[in-house]
Structure 1
Amino acid sequence: MISFPWISRSPLPPVARAYCDGTPKRLPRKTPLDQVRFVVIDAETTGFDPLKDSILSLAAAPLQAGVLPLNGLRSWLVYQRGAHLTEAVQVHGILPSDTRLGEAQARVLEEFLPVITGAVLVGHHLAFDVRMLDAALEYHFKIRLQNPMLDTAALAMRAIEAFRKSGYPGQRAPTLDEVCTLCGISPLERHTAAGDTFTTAELLMVLSARLARQLGRPLTTSDLPIDRA
């Protein structure tokens, strides 16, 4: 292959380079869960299309060894210039006047990346949040998320009989509200990034404990439906 040394990609910003260098794309199998650092995330957005919609708010909560420090929850409101009312406002309640008080998206991502570096990302229906974050990260830093990922909807389908995969076509993954109802969890500030993050973190602990009881032993990473980015 012919090399053209004068043509090269721009170096990554330090925060992006530190994230990429410090975040393995997979975990060793059989790693005990108490040795794994999880970070639960949630994003509220202007809509569902990563190509034209934007992140309005973002939250992240680290969790390790079954402990969720209350002071560990981080949340950000993202500045949006020229924001206008959309149908999504009826869900998350974030008004254009709110986003004018937010931080610049690049600054939010600069604070967010160190929080998730080296962690397993967790969310409910996580793929949507990842698509939105990937679009923002590509725009600002030319990177994508590379963390191992765990969707609590998939975990619920493994840990709860009522949600087990049936083999029938068209079976959908359970919603956050459905899993919370079955597990006896009262969602906190539903459809806010911070509230859904806290609720999903609680759900992760409950589902993990339930699965450990079923297996009769402490869990390892191979027991959970952890996927590569």
Structure 2
Amino acid sequence: MFYLKKQELKTDPLQLLSKNWQKTMQQLELSAKDARLKAFYQAGAVAAGTALQDIHYVALDFETTGLDPVRDGIVSIGLVPLTLERIYSSKAQSYLVKPRIQLKDSSVIVHGITDSVIAQAPDLEQYIEPLLQALAGKVVLVHHLPIERAFLYHGLMSRIKEGVVFPMIDTLALERGFTQSGLKGWWRSMTAQAKPSLRLADCRRRYQLPAYQPHHAVTDAMGCAELFQAQVARHLSASTPVGKLWS
């Protein structure tokens, strides 16, 4: 996964939405033209008051050709289903995707996916149905929501003339709140201490989670899933309403 500042994203579909995800999904079902999108939105969203312990999640991660969701493309997808108590690693899914643009040397260095690796890979359009089916009715976990949401939105927009949006919980944003707010954040500003890194590996290290090879979509999705469980155990409660965390 790549990282960038939120203001670097040229288009943020989240700006068009409210946090009433049940109502939003109903409206999107009515307006969707693609049958796959209609079926996805029909699955709906859980109520905002639903406790974290009562939800089924999917951790999602993309590797991409670069940082621009309009001009760049997705080259791999990782999906890991979980609940607050268990990660279903045997049901994890990993897809290689052939983008519609040339791979960049700078991105190949990061994720190691070369032209030969994706030479026979399908286009993202072939994954739309299985991807949406895997996410339908779930709360999606990501680490760095703006880039993950925008890449999927524009990836579909360029293929079926419709984007897709749904509720997500951003483990990066959660960690920012846990490490940079309150007394600790005040003391850090007074003493000119550097802000803690929010990269996935560094966030995991603060919870004594094992180190994984970064920039592999399914491994990063697994890392995001484990991080979320650890964040809830340390800072939140299993009874916390999901509406307090999602965007």
- TM-score, normalised to structure 2, is 0.76
Cα drift, residue 201 of structure 1: 0.6
Q: Are 2:182 and 1:129 equivalent residues in the alignment?
A: no
Confirm whether residue 164 of structure 1 aligns to residue 181 of structure 2: yes
Partner of 2:106, secondary structure, is: coil
The CA deviation at 1:220 is 2.2
| Residue 42, structure 1, aligned to residue 61, structure 2 | yes
Determine if the alignment matches structure 1 residue 177 to structure 2 residue 201.
yes
Q: Which has the larger radius of gyration?
A: 1
Determine if the alignment matches structure 1 residue 61 to structure 2 residue 85. no
Distance 1:30-1:46 versus aligned 2 partners, 3 A rule: same
Is the CA contact (8 Å cut-off) linking 1:61 and 1:68 kept in structure 2? yes
Output the CA distance in 1 between the equivalents of 2:160 and 2:58: 21
CA deviation string 1:5-55 (max 9, x = no partner):
xxxxx973322210122133xx43431212212111000000001121010
**Which residue of the partner structure matches residue 122 of structure 2?**
103
Counterpart code for 1:18: A
2:44 to 15, 18, 23: 23
**Root-mean-square deviation (CA), in Å?**
2.5
Structure 2 residue 219 is the aligned partner of structure 1 residue 195: yes
**Counterpart of 2:211 in 1: which secondary structure?**
coil
- The structure that is helix-richer by fraction is 2
Mapped pair 1:225 → 2:245: yes
Post-superposition offset of 1:102: 1.2
1:80 offset after TM fit, Å?
3.5
1:92: how far off?
0.4
CA contact (8 A) 1:154 1:225 kept: no
Q: Tell me, which stretches of 5 or more residues in structure 2 are unaligned?
A: 1-30
Residue 89 (structure 1) aligned with residue 108 (structure 2): yes
Instruction: State the AA in 1 paired with 2:171.
Output: T
- CA deviation vs aligned residue, 1:72-100 (integer Å, no higher than 9, x gap): 21110002366344201111000011111
| Partners of 2:180 and 2:195 within 8 A in 1 | no
Runs of 5+ unmatched residues, structure 1: 1-9
Sequence identity, in percent? 25
When residues 96 and 171 of structure 1 are mapped into structure 2, their CA distance, relative to the original with a 3 A threshold, is same
1:188 touches 1:198 (CA, 8 Å); kept in 2? no
2:159 aligns with 140
